[in-house]
């Protein structure tokens, strides 16, 4: 039983196709993420669902109703913009109450109070947007959308203007509120880590198409093509012919092979502990070492191409730049594309 | 530290011509006017006679009232028209917007005697359109008299509108498209958007523009003079005839009226500002 259905939606601007035959379905209460590079059409798809853009071809259904031709105010969807878009002349309270007043709902006061409580903004009711921090403004924007009890909540990169720490805490909070209200949510981001931690389901988009959909772990462990492999997991993607040459074996068939950087291991040349049953070995040298938090990333140059190898950072165990190494490639971790 | 100070002195020195200009042509005359207004007709005795004269004279009070009414009326009308016109301009392509603004800019400088003369040529008793329409038969201008109250207001509004458009147009850039989108997603109509968000956001600029237009028409002299001469009783015309007429010069009385003119403008600005703060509580 799907709650949101997008059926073969196509949309173009002038002579450029921005959404190319997109179909997807969501279950009620699901947290779905549209993930893709800048310009791939994520915002356009979201805005089409909200009714802020029309579509050229295709249908959009929510809860069994065809909403393709409804105006935004009839669709019962809520949206949070990247730039918050709070009304600058209204207090926090009035911003959140605006929609309720428009719909002439009863008990405005208590509903707004509950919402302010939920997004943890007690004491800020009478503040104006310009008196709030970015994170607080984003909470107001979220509350303003949620208080309407929309059928679907749309979030267009709501956290991307915030710094890393606040971003992390708001991710958690957003997820908590989403679960608490059991609200069907479509979240847009181009940050794959954010998509992984928050989503029940990810739709990877490229050039106006959905190229793969699935749970975060499905997408991460079995990418369907080079684009997803590179975009999601920083996979090492290697041409099959080149790979055959490097490992001196033609055991694998296919066009390309993708290997995640964290399944590779490095050993010094000489201390050969290569298990030929389980692994292949590729000789090379360390071209570069970089550190991203707790992960050490080696860039290993081989005779044909460079490989990324990720290690958890342990004290004292580190290869120097220029060191000659052998990369151990576990056979069962190789994904054929 | 010293270096910075030196630089500052240097910059101040560059500002000197401007400061001298302001003192010489603005502050100086203002002080002289205020001082003058507190002398008796002989220019020697300090007195508040001039103000008493004005407030006792129905004629002068009438002039003040007329000026206030025509200024209020033309400023309000022009602001309303300009708010709508400036919004329409924002709906054109950038190229056409620039052209329209250029026209507004040019016409906003079109006032005084040339403007009155143009109106006389077009709509005066023997004006082009007046004659044209009476020949055609459709006597649209039969009841219209350019040299009257209506005529005066028409000309005032005409020269106020382009200025008002120029002043209000930029503030439309401050209205974000996403506010409109958010409002519509929350169930608001276009009308409720403008009522609750659009107009309040524009308000400071509308109020500021109103103050400028009000002052502009309170002080307008040449346009009125060319059109109605001294047939019409306006504050600016009375001041002119007291300080520059060939009958009886009364510079002290003229100064007192000038002070009252300035006072009404400041009063209007203060009132506008107060009203705006009541609505835009976020600007406090
Ligand atoms: N109003 C418009 N007119 C013309 N082209 C547009 C318009 N809006 C978007 N586009 C084009 O559509 C494409 C997709 O835009 P969209 O905003 O959906 O991308 P996005 O995936 O949200 O990117 P980002 O991550 O940068 O926000 C872009 O190539 C953009 O140039
Ligand atoms: Mg976008």
For chain B, what is the mean pLDDT?
87
Inter-residue contact B252 to B47 (CB < 8 Å): no
Residue A44 CA to ligand 1 centre (angstroms)? 6
Inter-residue contact B261 to B219 (CB < 8 Å): yes
Q: Is residue B7 part of a domain?
A: no
Q: For ligand 1, atom 26, name the residue with the nearest CA.
A: A38
**CB neighbours (10 Å) of residue A39?**
12
CA distance B185 to B179: 10
Contact of B46 with chain A, judged by CB distance below 8 Å, is answered with no
Instruction: Say yes or no: CB of residue A18 within 6 Å of ligand 1.
Output: yes
Q: Is residue B129 part of a domain?
A: yes
Give residue B200's pLDDT: 93
Instruction: Say yes or no: CB of residue A254 within 6 Å of ligand 1.
Output: no
Give residue B177's pLDDT: 92
Q: Is residue B30 part of a domain?
A: no
B chain contacts of residue A130, beta-carbon cutoff 8 Å:
282
**What is residue A223's three-state secondary structure?**
coil
- pLDDT digits 0-9 by tens, B158-177: 889 999 999 999 999 989 99
Q: For ligand 1, atom 22, name the residue with the nearest CA.
A: A43
B chain contacts of residue A88, beta-carbon cutoff 8 Å:
201, 282
| pLDDT average, residue stretch B32-61 | 89
**Ligand 1 atom index nearest CA of A36:** 21
Contact of B133 with chain A, judged by CB distance below 8 Å, is answered with no
Cβ–Cβ of A81/B181 closer than 8 Å? yes
Whether B82 has a pLDDT exceeding 70, the answer reads: yes
Q: For ligand 1, atom 25, name the residue with the nearest CA.
A: A38
A chain contacts of residue B277, beta-carbon cutoff 8 Å:
none
| Overall domain count for chain B | 1
Contact of B278 with chain A, judged by CB distance below 8 Å, is answered with no
Instruction: Say yes or no: CB of residue A38 within 6 Å of ligand 1.
Output: yes
A chain contacts of residue B281, beta-carbon cutoff 8 Å:
89, 91, 128
Q: In what order do the strands lie in the sheet with A236-239?
A: A236-239, A256-259, A335-336
Inter-residue contact B186 to A98 (CB < 8 Å): yes
CA distance A77 to A153: 6
**What is residue A322's three-state secondary structure?**
coil
CA distance A181 to A29: 8
pLDDT tier for residue B123 given thresholds of 50, 70 and 90: confident
| pLDDT average, residue stretch B127-144 | 75
pLDDT over 90, % of chain A: 57
Contact of A99 with chain B, judged by CB distance below 8 Å, is answered with yes
Mutate to test the interface with B, among A47, A73, A89 (most CBs of B within 10 A): A89
What's phi and psi for A26, nearest 5 deg? -130, 145
pLDDT over 70, % of chain B: 96
Among A50, A72, A85, beta carbon nearest to B176: A85
B chain contacts of residue A91, beta-carbon cutoff 8 Å:
281-282
pLDDT tier for residue A316 given thresholds of 50, 70 and 90: low
CA distance A217 to A241: 29
The winner for highest mean pLDDT among A208-217, B224-233, B272-281 is: A208-217
What is the distance in angstroms between the Cα of A63 and the nearest Cα belonging to chain B?
A: 18
Inter-residue contact A297 to A310 (CB < 8 Å): yes
- DSSP single-letter state for residue A333: G
Q: For ligand 1, atom 29, name the residue with the nearest CA.
A: A39
A chain contacts of residue B181, beta-carbon cutoff 8 Å:
50, 52, 72, 79, 81, 85
Q: Is residue B81 part of a domain?
A: yes
For a pocket test of ligand 1, which of A16, A41, A49, A186 has the largest count of ligand atoms closer than 8 A to its C-beta?
A: A41
What is the distance in angstroms between the Cα of B133 and the nearest Cα belonging to chain A?
A: 48
pLDDT over 70, % of chain A: 98
What is the distance in angstroms between the Cα of A151 and the nearest Cα belonging to chain B?
A: 12
Whether A334 has a pLDDT exceeding 60, the answer reads: yes
As beta bridge partners, residue A288 has: A299
A chain contacts of residue B176, beta-carbon cutoff 8 Å:
83, 85
Among A71, A85, A103, beta carbon nearest to B182: A85
pTM of the model: 0.82
Contact of A128 with chain B, judged by CB distance below 8 Å, is answered with yes
Whether A243 has a pLDDT exceeding 60, the answer reads: yes
Range of the domain at B98: 37-283
pLDDT tier for residue B2 given thresholds of 50, 70 and 90: low
Contact of B175 with chain A, judged by CB distance below 8 Å, is answered with no
ipTM greater than cut 0.85: no
CATH number at residue B91: 1.10.3720.10
Mutate to test the interface with A, among B171, B175, B182, B280 (most CBs of A within 10 A): B182
CA distance A311 to A317: 10
Of B169, B155, B73, residue with least CA distance to B113: B155
Q: Is residue B10 part of a domain?
A: no
Give residue A48's pLDDT: 95
- DSSP single-letter state for residue B164: H
CA distance A332 to A321: 29
- DSSP single-letter state for residue A251: -
Contact of B187 with chain A, judged by CB distance below 8 Å, is answered with yes
Give residue B127's pLDDT: 80
- pLDDT digits 0-9 by tens, A86-103: 999 999 999 999 999 999
pLDDT tier for residue A294 given thresholds of 50, 70 and 90: confident
- DSSP single-letter state for residue A56: S
User: CA nearest B190 in A: which residue?
Assistant: A73
As beta bridge partners, residue A285 has: A301, A324
Contact of B188 with chain A, judged by CB distance below 8 Å, is answered with yes
CA distance B215 to A8: 61
Q: Is residue B26 part of a domain?
A: no
CA distance B252 to B49: 9
Q: Is residue B15 part of a domain?
A: no
Q: Is residue B71 part of a domain?
A: yes
- pLDDT digits 0-9 by tens, B91-118: 999 999 999 999 988 888 887 788 888 8
| pLDDT average, residue stretch A41-45 | 94
Give residue A124's pLDDT: 92
Contact of B199 with chain A, judged by CB distance below 8 Å, is answered with no
């Amino acid at each position: 039983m799907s709650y949101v259905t997008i059926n073969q939606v196509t949309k173009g601007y002038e002579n450029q196709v921005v959404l190319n035959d997109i179909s997807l379905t969501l279950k009620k209460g699901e947290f779905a993420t549209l993930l893709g590079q800048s310009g791939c059409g994520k915002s356009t798809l979201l805005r089409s669902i909200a009714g802020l853009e029309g579509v050229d071809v295709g249908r959009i259904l929510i809860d069994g109703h065809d909403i393709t031709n409804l105006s935004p105010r009839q669709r019962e969807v809520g949206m949070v913009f990247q730039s918050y878009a709070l009304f600058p002349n209204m207090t926090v309270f009035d911003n959140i109450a605006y929609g309720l007043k428009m719909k002439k709902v009863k008990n405005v006061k208590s509903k707004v109070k509950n919402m302010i409580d939920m997004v943890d903004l007690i004491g800020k009711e009478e503040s104006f947007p310009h008196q709030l921090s970015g994170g607080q403004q984003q909470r107001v924007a979220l509350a303003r959308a949620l208080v309407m009890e929309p059928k679907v909540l749309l979030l267009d990169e709501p956290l991307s203007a915030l710094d890393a720490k606040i971003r992390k805490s708001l991710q958690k909070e957003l997820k908590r509120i989403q679960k608490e209200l059991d609200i069907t949510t479509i979240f847009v981001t181009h940050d794959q880590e954010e998509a992984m931690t928050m989503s029940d389901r990810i739709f990877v988009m490229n050039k106006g198409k959905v190229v793969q959909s699935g749970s975060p772990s499905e997408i991460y462990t079995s990418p369907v093509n080079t684009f997803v492999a590179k975009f999601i997991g920083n996979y090492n993607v290697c041409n099959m012919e080149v790979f055959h040459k490097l490992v001196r074996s033609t055991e694998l068939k296919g066009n390309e092979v993708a290997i995640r950087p964290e399944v590779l291991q490095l050993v010094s040349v000489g201390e050969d502990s290569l298990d030929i049953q389980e692994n292949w070995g590729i000789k090379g040298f360390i071209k570069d070492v970089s550190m991203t938090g707790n992960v050490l990333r080696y860039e290993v140059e081989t005779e044909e191409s460079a490989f990324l190898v990720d290690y958890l950072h342990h004290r004292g165990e580190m290869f120097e730049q220029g060191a000659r190494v052998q990369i151990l490639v576990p056979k069962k971790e190789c994904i054929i594309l | 530290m010293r270096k910075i100070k030196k630089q500052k002195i240097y910059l101040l020195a560059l500002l000197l011509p401007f400061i001298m200009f302001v003192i010489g042509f603005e502050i100086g005359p203002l002080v002289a006017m205020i001082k003058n207004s507190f002398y008796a007709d002989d220019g020697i005795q300090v007195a508040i006679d001039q103000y008493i004269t004005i407030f006792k004279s129905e004629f002068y009070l009438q002039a003040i009232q007329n000026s206030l009414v025509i200024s209020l009326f033309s400023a309000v009308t022009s602001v309303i028209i300009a708010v709508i016109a400036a919004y329409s301009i924002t709906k054109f392509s950038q190229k056409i917007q620039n052209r329209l603004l250029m026209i507004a800019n040019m016409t906003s400088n079109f006032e005084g005697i040339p403007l009155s003369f143009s109106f006389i040529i077009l709509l005066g008793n023997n004006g082009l359109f007046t004659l044209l329409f009476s020949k055609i038969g459709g006597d649209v201008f039969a009841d219209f008299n350019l040299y009257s109250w209506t005529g005066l207001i028409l000309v005032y509004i005409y020269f106020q509108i382009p200025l008002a458009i120029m002043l209000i147009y930029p503030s439309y850039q401050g209205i974000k498209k996403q506010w409109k989108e958010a409002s519509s997603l929350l169930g608001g109509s276009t009308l409720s958007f403008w009522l609750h968000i659009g107009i309040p956001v524009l308000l400071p600029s509308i109020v500021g523009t109103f103050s400028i237009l009000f002052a502009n028409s309170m002080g307008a002299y040449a346009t009125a003079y060319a059109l109605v001469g001294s047939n019409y009783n306006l504050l600016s015309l009375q001041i002119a005839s007291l300080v520059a007429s060939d009958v009886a010069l009364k510079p002290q009385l003229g100064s007192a009226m000038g002070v009252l003119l300035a006072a009404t403008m400041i009063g209007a600005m203060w009132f506008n500002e107060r009203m705006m703060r009541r609505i835009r509580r976020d600007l406090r």
